[in-house]
Structures are given as C-alpha cells and as structure tokens.
Structure 1
Amino acid sequence: MAGDLQGTDVAYLDYNATAPLRPEALEAMLGALQSVGNASSMHHAGRKAATRVDAARRSLADLLNCAPGEIIFTSGATEANNLALRAGYARGGLLVTTAAEHLAVIETARTITAEHPDSLLILPVDQDGVVDLEPLVAALHNKPVALVSLMLANNETGVLIDLDPVCKAAHEAGALVHTDATQYVGRLPLDLAELDVDLLSLSAHKFGGPQGVGALFVRRGTPLPHRPLLVGGGHERGWRAGTLNVAGITGLGAAAQAARRQLADEAVRVTALRSALEAALIVEVADCRINGAHAPRLPGVTSVTFPGVPADAVLAAMPQVAASDGSACSSGAPSPSHVLLAMGRSRDDADSTVRFSLGYATTERDIERATAAAIDAVRHVRSVMAATAEP
C-alpha cells in the first residue's frame, strides 16, 4: 500500500520531514546508478552522465517555469539557503528575515552577521505566522538592504506567505529577495515567470525525490557575487565545486516530472484529507487547536496543539502513526519550537503540538487510522497524567 511505511502497517504523515521516494524517481536513479561516468568528463560515459543531469535540470525548470541555466544543483535546501544568504549579504547592507523561518536560514543569517549584528533584522510574525510588512517597508526606506529572505511556506504550520508585495517593495529599494520554497515546490503550482524572487531554495526529498540533493534558483542577470561553500572546481557555474551527484540529480528530475503531472489533482485531494483529519480532531479532542488555521496554508500540513499533553508522549502512544513534534531538523532539541513561540504560543503549548503532514501517497485509510490513533493517544496520555496527579 502506497501509504504504508516500508511494508509495515504505519500511516506515514511526516511528509514535511521527507516524502516517500516516488517510483519514477527510484526507477530513474537505478538506471543512473548502473551506469558509470563523471558528468564533467568528455568521453562517452561522461557525456551520458551529463545528459542525465541536463535532462533533470530541464525537468526541474519545467516545474518552476524558469530557464534550465538558472538552476544550481546542491546537496539540499540547507546548502542552497547558505549559498543564497552568503552571496546576498556580500552585496553590502541589511539582511532581513523573519522569526518563523527554518533554522537553515535563521542560523545562517546569524552566523554571517555575527561580527555586525546590527546588519540583521528579524521581523516578527502574527499569531497565524504571517509576517507584518510594515517593519520591512520601514527598513527598506531607512537603510540599504542587501537581501530579504522569507519562506513561501512554513515547514511547521504550512502557513503561506504572499511574496508579491515583498518583491515589489524590496526591488523598488534595490534589495534582492530569496525564498526558502522547500515545502512549497511540488505541492502547489509555482511560476517563476510570475513570482519575482531573485533566489529560491528547494530539496528533492520534500516532493518525492531522494535525500541529499536540492537546488538553488538564481535568476539570470541578478547582480550577485559567488560565495561558494565548497571550492576546488568550476562546477555549477562556479557556485559549487565537486563531482555532481548524477543519480541523485536524476531522481530529482524524475520526481519533478511526476509532481508536475499530478500537481493540481493532488493539491485538491490532499486538502480534503487534511480537512477530514482536522475536523475529526476538533470534534473528538477537547480544546485542541489548529495553528495558523486562519491563514492560507499548504494542502497537506496541520499543526495541532493538544493543551497540557506533551507531544512526545502523544507520539509515543501512537506508534502506528509517523508524525512529528515540529521540524524534523530540530527533533530532540531541548527547546520548544521557535516558530510557535514566534506566533505567540506559550512554551507549554509549543511542547504540546504535533505536526501531521500529508502528501502524494497519503490515502483515506491513512487518515482514518491516524485520526483514531491520535484521539486514543491524547485521551490515554491525559488519563495517565490525571491518575499520576492524584494524591
């Protein structure tokens, strides 16, 4: 069953951590793995590998509606975010982001501005996780801004950000715009001929490609100095040295093709599944709340707070469901979600929040089983906590 986890009877609802590998990606990767050749070599085997890379670049460009030459392959969105922020900041001026960004953006921004902390502006978000544009506009008018970095879709809540007014205001002030679109690509239509960002980061494994490969979109003509993290060769137009991961890139391209074919239908189907999950939880679990419910969200993401019930206890009580207590990149961290804290949630509520994320292979049975399991788990944990609290 597509929704099962590696043949086990587990409802997999952790697509924001990583999506199951699409069959099309697996098949393409197997073909690449069975071939030999460095994509930079000039002999026949090398040219064959380069052909696979070129085809994948075109497939991703088709998904994003951009030129293939505007795509730089990386090891994933974390590397792409690092490249984008470092290059943008090197232009000179203020670096602007938000308190609800992925840590791959926030920590990179803090690191590269460490010697000049006043050159970093972290914007607040409201209770639904939506950024207030007034401080951004004020910053753009008060001092030179090098780069504005705002994610298209939040990885914990799925809340969407309207970047059109951001791009307009930033470009009028001479600033560049970067977006971490890791959770957006392959889930909703994205047209880079319409969305006027200068840089965009993504990871293949969020839309059914392999882990360990991603890309950075750099719009042609963008005035941006190269700031490669890895040096030692002129790969990827000087942005990233190192032998290309041909099999991984091939899998990314195949996943991009598959996602593009199914995009519209999947968005509608997955939205309905998420709505069914949320409706059942709201009815059956007292006091549960959906974070970001009043803002536009990704089709398959719901962040649910079960007040007073530790998320780790809920997850432990429903082993038949693969979900998360926040960003998978921060799992095991002693501090609560910085995203939920930025949205004004208390530490206790942040610690009592479970993220369910759905995707292309999620089935109605997955949702039925996950709903029943979550309801039982919360009731069980509350019962145990009540019994423990009795004198």
Structure 2
Amino acid sequence: MRTEGEVVYLDYNATAPMRPEALEATVSAMQTVGNASSMHHLGRDAATRVDHARRQVADLLNCSPGELIFTSGATEANNLALHAAYARGGYLMTSAVEHPAVLEAARSLTAEQPDALVVLPVDSDGALDLELLSFTLAERDVALVSIMLANNETGVLVDLRPVVEAAHAAGALVHTDATQYVGRLPLDLSELDVDLLSLSAHKFGGPQGVGALFVRRGAALPYRPILVGGGHERGWRAGTLNVAGIVGLGAAAEAAGKRLEHEAVRIGELRDRLEGLLLAKVDDCHINGRRLARLPGVTSVTFPGVPADAVLVAMPHVAASDGSACSSGAPSPSHVLLAMGRSREDADSTIRLSLGYATTEQDIERAAEAVVAGVQHVRTVLAATHAP
C-alpha cells in the first residue's frame, strides 16, 4: 500500500525501476570475482554467466546468441552501428524524430560531407512518408537506413517491414533503435529482417550502463570498432566485460519475456485510463500521436500555454518528464514535436508520462489528480501575473 507522500513514478521511458529478478542477479554477480576473459575457474565462471545472459537476451529477441554484442547501452550500440555502416560508403538515412543518439551520431559521421545524411520528415502524427523513403533509396546510394521502432517521446510505433523491404531492395542495410520497444512488446528477429538493432537494459527493468547491439549473421558489414585495445566481443568492442551489468540485463530480459503480452495489455489499459482522465478534466489538452499505434505505456500530452517545466514543479509527487531525459536542461524545445509541426510554445507545454511493469491503478488515479491540479495551478498563476 502506497503512502500519500510517496512519488508516483511515471518516467519509465527515462529509466525503469530494476525488476527484482534483475536486481538479485546483478547483486549476486557483483559479489563474485573473475574477469570473463581469464582462463582460471573464476574467469570461466564469469564467462559462463555472460554466456547465459547472452542466451537470455537472444531468447527475448528470437535471434542467435552469437549475433549479440554487449555494450554500455543503446547510445554506444547506435554509434557502433552507424560507424560500421558508414564505413561501407554511401549515404546515411534516418528520420527527423530519431533519438539524439542516432541523429547526432549521424551528423558527426557526415560532418565533412553533410549531403551524405538524409533526414526524412514525418507528418503531424509522427508517421514516415514511405513513398519519399522509397524514392530517395532509388535516387541515392544509401549504405544504411536507421529508423526507430518506437519513439521515445510520443511512443509512436513504426512498421519497419516496408522500410526493410525497400532498403534491402536498394542494397541498403537497416538499423533500428529499439530502445523503447524491447521488453515491452513482442519482437521476433526471425520475422523482422533488420540487420542491426540497439537496446538498453534499463528501459525494461535491467541495470543502467549496459545494452547490446544485434548484428545479423551474414550482414555485409565488417566490424568497425569505436573502442580499440582488445579482441572482446568478437573484435567489435574492446574492454573488460561488465559481468554484473550483463547478468542483470539477461535476468531482466528473461523476466520481461515471461510477462510480455500480459504486461502490454495491462499497461495499455492504464495508459488509456490516464489519458481519458486528463482529456476529461483539462480543457484544450491534446495527445500527440494518438491516431497512430503507440507503445502501451507512453503518453505525450500538450497543455497549450502552460509551460511543462512549471507543471512538473507543481506536482512534486509525480515523476514525469518534459521530453527525452537525454536532453533535459537543453534550452531548445523537443525536436520530435517540432518535426511533427508543433509550435515552439506547444512543444514547451508538453509533458511525457510513461508507465511500466510496476505501475498500478492507484498510481494512475493519483497522477491524473496531480497533473490536473498542477496545470490548474500554473494557469491560475499565469493569469494573475498577466492581469492588468
């Protein structure tokens, strides 16, 4: 039973609380010693734990354990994927609503040749123009198409099957930043024929600071390590393996996989309840991307004329966000909402509420009450400030 003073945590897209199974596995691994590259029995024990975790993640994705490269998280995995693909020569193609870990990596790689980067626009709901994608693939020699499966701010889902079909027909590889998707909705890499996929443990209940890059066996992609100095992870990534983090990742993957479909349905119902309460009780608010398929636990709500940062301050017992946690403190508004055609004022008046495996009905009721009160309080203050 939650007490009245407890914080309602609705910031799963920033980081999810560690699942009990992942916490237990991580702590257990931290209490042992052994470098997974050492030949003695302690090192072999660590390597065995890593191998087991690799199988757990592979089972969640339905891929081969040998197709997984462990990294420090999705940001490193995204950079590694783009770095390797761009070395093939040709253009990089992505979308205007990608996470900065993809957009900024692509811009950095093409800094000396900006025309080598193609950034596809989206419509007002956040959907890609597939005809434009296909036309661009026909007109240019594209090395890699990088499109996220689920947007981190709006939760909008992308059907990658036509993207993969068009890209492969043009000879391009496909990478997806699946950071928000993995562990939240079913994903079968035997059916989704992407060449590279990035994930991060802490988005679905694993520890922070660990993730993985899926590299499909047979992809025309020689490894291009960013970190050099050892032959770890089949030469893709030098550095002593984070055994405890990897073990936690594996445990979170197994735990999420066991309850995936049930959690998705339950969380989706809670999200719909939250949105219904806000739409009914707050005048003029609207949900971004609502007309498209979205992640079950994400809602991006705009309260026109009400600064999001002020609303967050006005509801201290609800942990939420005004956009991507990776760009917190940035003076510029959400690039995702701007790409969807929102005004700067509306982008600055948008909060993201993201639910997860531990969210309860009581959390939703308390959060809705707090958000409504927070918006009303800010509106009252603004009205008084601007009164003659």
Q: TM-score, normalised by structure 1?
A: 0.98
User: Is 1:98 matched with 2:95?
Assistant: yes
Q: 2:306 aligns with which of 298, 304, 309?
A: 309
Gap regions ≥5 residues in structure 1: none
| Residue aligning to 1:49 | 46
> CA separation in 2, counterparts of 1:125 and 1:280?
29
User: What secondary structure does 1:276 align onto?
Assistant: helix
Structure 2 residue aligned with 1:223: 220
Q: Which runs of 4+ in 1 moved over 6 A?
A: none
Quick one: which amino acid aligns to residue 120 of structure 2?
L
Q: Does 1:327 align with 2:338?
A: no
Q: Deviations over 1:232-285 (max 9, x none)?
A: 000001010000000000000000000000101000000000000000000100
Match for residue 266 of structure 1 among 243, 263, 267:
263
Describe the SS at the equivalent of 1:16: coil
Per the alignment, residue 117 of structure 1 pairs with: 114
- Is residue 5–residue 317 contact of structure 2 (8 Å, CA) maintained in 1? no
3-state SS, counterpart of residue 148 of structure 1: strand
Deviations 1:200-244 (A, max 9, x none): 000000000000000000000111122211100000010100000
Q: 1:145 aligns with which of 122, 136, 142?
A: 142
Instruction: Verify: 1:177 aligned to 2:140, yes or no.
Output: no
Tell me how far apart the structure 2 counterparts of residues 238 and 130 of structure 1 sit (CA, whole Å). Answer: 37
**CA–CA distance in 1 between the matches of 2:291 and 2:134?**
24
Q: Is residue 2:28 matched to residue 1:31?
A: yes
CA distance in 2, matches of 1:314, 1:336: 16
* Letter aligned with residue 315 of structure 1: L
Matched, 1:240 2:218: no
**Quick check: 2:62–2:189 contact (8 Å CA) kept in 1?**
yes
Bigger shift: residues 28-37 or 203-212: 28-37
1:269-288 correspondence to structure 2 within 5 Å: 269-288=266-285
Percent pairwise identity: 75
* 3-state SS in 2 of match to 1:121: strand
Q: Distance in 2 between matches of 1:296 and 1:316?
A: 30
TM-score, reference length from structure 2: 0.99
Give the secondary-structure state (helix, strand or coil) at the position aligned to 1:201. strand
Counterpart for residue 162 of structure 1: 159
Q: How many angstroms apart in 2 are the aligned matches of 1:227 and 1:109?
A: 15
CA drift of 1:8 comes to: 6.2
CA distance 1:56–1:174, change in 2 (3 Å): same
The aligned residue for residue 190 of structure 1 is 187
Gap change, CA 1:192 and 1:8, over 3 Å in 2:
farther
Q: Which amino acid letter does the alignment assign opposite residue 140 of structure 1?
A: L
1:290 aligns with 2:287: yes
Aligned to 2:259, the other structure's residue is in SS state helix
Q: Distance in 1 between matches of 2:72 and 2:27?
A: 19
Residue type at the aligned position of 1:380: H
What is the letter of the counterpart of residue 146 of structure 1?
A
Residue identity opposite 1:118 in structure 2: D
From the superposition, tell whether residues 211 and 134 of structure 1 become closer, same or farther in structure 2 (CA, over 3 Å).
Answer: same
Match of 1:15 in 2: 12
RMSD: 1.0
Question: Equivalent residue for 1:62?
Answer: 59
